[in-house]
Amino acid sequence: MKPYSLAVKAVILDESGKCLLLRRSAASRNFRGCWEWPGGKVDQGEDFASALVREVREEAGLEIEITGLAGVTLFELPEVKVVLLCMEARTAGAEVRLSSEHDAWEWAPLAELSRRQMPRVIRPFVLAYARRKIRR
Amino acid sequence: MKPYSLAVKAVILDESGKCLLLRRSAASRNFRGCWEWPGGKVDQGEDFASALVREVREEAGLEIEITGLAGVTLFELPEVKVVLLCMEARTAGAEVRLSSEHDAWEWAPLAELSRRQMPRVIRPFVLAYARRKIRR
């Protein structure tokens, strides 16, 4: 039976309601060229909130504060089923510093997420979140 | 800042679409008399799927197989914010054995969940899940 794994992503929103997107570089194992919220796997022995703060620090050089729940989705990779937990967050930091995993970043309006290339497995979830958030 | 904690619950569905509910006993610290899906906190160093299998074994004496995602909600307790991740599951087991934490169990039709007493903080989420599931 395929095991389950937990991953976390941060929807870092600025004061104008834009969210931070990172573009996966050629150095990434999969989903190259796709845009995504920063985040990653929860390591063994790590709680999800610490994992999220760590991943955002590693991938974007930003310190975040988690502010709420964005949502959850499930997708399958060849080896594992991934529960992707997305949390809303804010940052006082201004300067994004990327790791080798990404080669571009952007503060994107939620209404424009549908124009960005994204992994097929999470695209419907991301766009549904953006629609709900814009309506509020 | 209030810390975040992860809890997991199992929506164990039988072949007729009923789900297992447990009623919190007088021995429970809070939400006494409320009905709930089995589950509990993810311990430090434990992955969420193992935690869920363990909690259902402890609370209901059943071995489960996780089959998919039910959804997620967030609520606040005095000391902590809880992300409650709910997974659908099935069991080959037939005989429920309760711990002291609960004093009754029932296989409840999803359409009847609204008639059960539930913690106010998760009731809207549970009923929204049931409505979506019934429509499918």
Whose structure tokens read 């790590």?
A: A46
From chain B, pick out residues whose CB is under 8 angstroms from the CB of A74.
Answer: 68-69
Instruction: Write b or e for each residue in B72-84: b if 16 or more Cβ atoms lie within 10 A of its Cβ, otherwise e.
Output: bbbbeeeeebbbb
Partner-chain contact B1 A49, CB within 8 Å? no
B45/A48 CB distance under 8 A: no
The reported pLDDT for the residue numbered A135 is 86
pLDDT for res A113: 96
- List chain B residues with CB under 8 Å of A44: 45, 47
Residue B61 has pLDDT above 80, yes or no: yes
Q: Which of B49, B68, B85 shows the shortest C-beta gap to A85?
A: B85
Q: Could you tell me the pLDDT band of residue B89, with boundaries at 50, 70 and 90?
A: very high
Contacts of A85 in chain B (CB under 8 A): 72, 83, 85
Nearest residue of chain A to residue B48 (CA atoms) = A6
How far apart CA A106 and CA A103 sit, in angstroms, is 11
- Cβ A68–B83 below 8 Å, yes or no? no
The reported pLDDT for the residue numbered A30 is 84
What pLDDT digit, counting tens, does each position of A80-101 carry? Answer: 999 999 999 999 987 999 999 9
pLDDT at B104: 97
CB B51 within 8 A of CB B8: yes
Predicted confidence at residue B93, as pLDDT, reads: 80
Statement: residue B136 has pLDDT above 80? no
Å between A63 CA and nearest CA of chain B:
15
* Shortest Cα distance, chain A CAs vs residue B84, angstroms: 10
pLDDT tens digits, A17-72: 999 999 999 988 888 999 999 999 998 889 999 999 999 999 999 999 999 999 99
Chain B residues with CB-CB distance to A75 below 8 A: none
What ipTM goes with this model? Answer: 0.93
Q: Do B4 and A47 touch (CB under 8 A)?
A: yes
Q: Topology of A4-135 in CATH?
A: Nucleoside Triphosphate Pyrophosphohydrolase (3.90.79)
pTM score: 0.95
Contact A48 B73 (CB under 8 A): no
Answer yes or no: are the C-beta atoms of B21 and B33 closer than 8 Å: no
* For residues B61-88, average pLDDT: 97
* Residue of B47, B53, B87 to mutate for A, most A C-beta atoms under 10 A: B47
| Mean per-residue pLDDT over chain A, rounded | 95
Inform me whether the pLDDT recorded for B66 exceeds 80.
Answer: yes
Instruction: Show contacts of A49-56: CB within 8 Å, 24+ apart.
Output: A49/A87, A49/B3, A49/B4, A51/A8, A52/A8, A52/A9, A52/A10, A52/A87, A52/A89, A55/A8, A55/A10, A56/A10, A56/A12, A56/A89, A56/A91
Q: Which residues lie closer than 8 Å to A118 by C-beta, 6 or more apart?
A: A34, A35, A36, A126
**C-beta of residue B19 within 8 angstroms of C-beta of residue B12:** yes
Spatial strand order in the sheet of A102-109: A35-36, A18-24, A102-109
pLDDT in the model for residue B27: 87
Q: Please, which residues have CB within 8 angstroms of residue B30's CB and are 6 or more apart in sequence? A: none
Residue A26 Cα distances to A1, A9, B19, B51, B97, angstroms: 31, 21, 46, 36, 53
What is the SS3 assignment for B75?
strand
